[in-house]
Amino acid sequence: MQKRQLLTIGFTILACTFLSAQAGRGNYNFMDFQQKPYYFGITLGVNTANYSIFQSKNFIGNSNFNSIESVMGSGGNFGIVTNLKIGKYFDVRFLPTLSFATRNLRYNRPGEEIFQRKIESVFAEMPFHIRYKSAPYNDTRLFVIGGIKYSFDVASESRAVIKDVELVKVSPTDFALEIGGGIQFFFPYFIFSPEIKFSHGLGNTLIYNENLEESQIIDKILSRTFTISLHFEG
């Protein structure tokens, strides 16, 4: 796990502990928000992303590559939160988000230096989540989420005219399953919700190029993303 990710997780835990200590006793702030059928907010986050790579049958017999792997890269998120309450314990959530992500493909050739293919993306994401929340305690409550996300890479190289044809390309569109959890802290004027979330792609994003050996040795590529988000809602 990258040092930056560890520092971010540590900071989030410390922030949650501090805010929890400030929450006071009782569910006074919670009762005010409980009267609202829906509310909106913003979300800020950091992410780490990579690929799950499946080798093709051509990799077994090839003599030009010893290995291929995905190297994790970091990025950020900014979006809008739309939350609709369904009863006491369930929410339906839509979080349109602009996400910046970096992923790397690392190739190892026999007797040569390792080289990487960096894939930088700017995603317009549309996640739909169902959230289940615990009973409140001292203006805090735990929650878990699950849902699906559609992503479109507005900066995708696969939709541009590229002179360098020696590039492994990936599709600009992707669907992913998402699961996660977090804590809600209820304050007089807003709800603060730190959240962790894991996304796993459902479809092969590799754009196969039969004339490119770097593409021939790959059967499919699935996206993976880990995100730490801070939601401010009210």
| 3-state secondary structure string across 144-202 | EEEEEEEEEECCCHHHCCCCCCCCCEECCEEEEEEEEEEEEEECCCCEEEEEEEEEEEC
Distance CA 78, CA 8 (A): 16
Q: Would the pLDDT of 159 be above 50? A: no
For residue 39, the one-letter residue type is Y
For the ranges 85-89, 112-116, 136-140, 161-165, the lowest mean pLDDT is seen at 161-165
pTM, full prediction: 0.81
Mean of pLDDT values over 175-186: 94
Q: Would the pLDDT of 8 be above 50? A: yes
Count the Cβ atoms, other than its own, within 10 Å of residue 210. Answer: 7
Of 3-7, 108-112, 183-187, 209-213, the range with the highest mean pLDDT is 183-187
pLDDT tens-place string over residues 50-84: 998 888 888 777 777 788 888 888 899 999 999 99
